[in-house]
Structure formats: structure tokens, C-alpha cells
Amino acid sequence: MNSNPKKPCWICGNPSDSREHKFKKSDITRRYGKGSFENVGGMLHSKDGRPRPVQGPKSNILSYHPVICSHCNNNRSQPWDNAYKIFERWVFDNSDLIYAKRFAPLEFVYGEDAWWCQSLNLFKYFVKAFGCRLASAETSVPDDLVDLLDKEYFLTKLRICFSINRVSYTFPEYFESFLGIGNLYQVNSRSQGTMERYTWCINVSWLRIWFFYAHEIPSCVGASWVADSSCLYFGEFDAPSLEEHDQLVKDAEQNGTHEQVVNLKKMRKTLWG
Ligand SMILES: [Zn+2]
């Protein structure tokens, strides 16, 4: 008897036999470096005033336990993965422009003829990433997300935002290789109990991609996007907290260069005195 039956693929329901990477291979190969994966992981927290860990599967650090089948992971999602690869390359090749203007027209990213179709693919890539994150935390993926993968027009409670981390941007030598997955939060309500309401984020160098499911968008994190606009408007966020900043200094002292330590300490002084 198989004591560890394969989970159904959250997209199609067939047995899961494929590990989805937490980051695209292109992100990893371009950025692999010191400290890159320190932030990988993130357990599901239930946030109803008292965050508490619910599930933290000890998966291979760079990929999830299978929550998806190989057909969905390799064939079906190929156009979504490709759209992300193009997006990621364009964003980091044009980071000065984005930093200066705070927007990215998708026509520039994908070309005049392809942007509409490709922006749908890009959104579906984010749905896949988010769905795999939920499924890996033993959380069922909301129906609207599964359904929209077949559609051109849809309604969904998932909204994506894009933010610039100004600290990471200012210190490219230190953060170029940074990849991180934020904690997945389930945001419950005291009056209504457990809810299908989540926040999550992915960090790639200075870019933070936010996922808000049935959750209000905080101010300044950028305009929400559901593949309904031809332009992405970036928000920004400043520094990490003082505690996080001290950790950055510690990390730099261990793994970074003297210059990075000096810069981070200088910045700490400027921000917190
Ligand atoms: Zn499947």
C-alpha cells in the first residue's frame, strides 16, 4: 500500500509528479550568489492578531514538493513561464528607466502585437506561482484561480502589485543576487473566522511582486494589476525595519564586502540615527 499517495495537481486534478521551482531558473542562474537563498521558505501564518505557523513543509529548498503534474508544469504553463522570463529580463535591463519613471508599458516589454496575449500569460504565471505556494502549504487554491487559467476574460480576487525596494536598488552589488520568498499570510477575521484571504510576495533583487487575494491593497505598493492594463505602475517601499537592517549589516559583515558594510552602516545612521 502506498502510504504517501500523490496529491492531485491543483490545476488539472491528475496525480502530481513534478516539482515547481520557487524561482524561475533564469532568476536563479542570473542571480545565484552569496546569501541568495537565506530568505527562501516562509511558512503559512494565520494572521488574526496572533501570527502562528501552521505548516512548513521541509521541501527541497529550491522547489516545492510536487503539487502539480508534469504536463501542467512543462507543457501547459510553458507560455506563462516564457512570458515571465521576457518580463524579468526586460525589467532588469531597464531598471534605470523604471526607477526614474515608475512605470513599464507592456508594449515595450513584449512588442506592439504580442503584449495583450503575453500580459495574460504573465498574469497566469503569477497565478501558477501563487497556486503552487498555497498548495505546498496544504491550502486549497481558490476556484477562481484554477478556472481563469483556461480563459481570456475572467474575474478574480487576485491582484498583483509591483514595488521597488529603494534600499536594494541603491546597493545593487549586495542585492543583485537577492531572491526571496515572503511569508504567506492567511488573513482571517475575528467575526467571520477562517477566510480565503491571503497576502504573499516574491523578491527578486530590488523588485517585489506582491500577491493580494481578497485583500485590500496597502498604500504606496503600486497600482494593482490583473492583466487588465497595458502598463504596470510601480510603487516603492523604503528600508527594512531597524531589526531587519541590523540583520543586513550582520549578513554583510559575514558574506559581503567592506564597502557594503560601510554603506549599510551609513544608511542605518541616516535612517535611524
Ligand atoms: Zn496538472
pLDDT digits (tens, 9 = 90+) for 235-269: 987 655 677 777 777 877 877 777 777 877 876 77
Find the 41 Cα to ligand 1 centroid distance in Å. Answer: 23
Label residues 140-161 b or e (16+ Cβ within 10 Å = b). ebbebbbebbeeeebebebbbb
- How do residues 135-160 score in pLDDT, each as one tens digit? 988 899 999 999 999 999 999 999 99
Find the 12 Cα to ligand 1 centroid distance in Å. Answer: 4
Query: What CA–CA distance (Å, rounded) separates 154 from 135?
Result: 22
Phi, psi of 10 (to 5 degrees): -70, -15
Find the 48 Cα to ligand 1 centroid distance in Å. Answer: 33
Find the 14 Cα to ligand 1 centroid distance in Å. Answer: 5
Find the 146 Cα to ligand 1 centroid distance in Å. Answer: 11
User: In this structure, what C-alpha cell is assigned to residue 139?
Assistant: 491550502
- How do residues 26-78 score in pLDDT, each as one tens digit? 554 444 333 333 333 333 343 333 333 333 333 344 566 789 999 999 999 99
CA 72 to chain centre: 20
> HSE on the CB side for 98, CA within 13 Å?
29
Find the 187 Cα to ligand 1 centroid distance in Å. Answer: 28
CB atoms inside a 10 Å sphere around CB 68: 28
Find the 2 Cα to ligand 1 centroid distance in Å. Answer: 21
Residues flanking ion ligand 1, Cβ below 5 Å: 9, 11-12, 14, 69, 72
Query: What single letter denotes the amino acid at residue 181?
Result: I
Find the 123 Cα to ligand 1 centroid distance in Å. Answer: 18
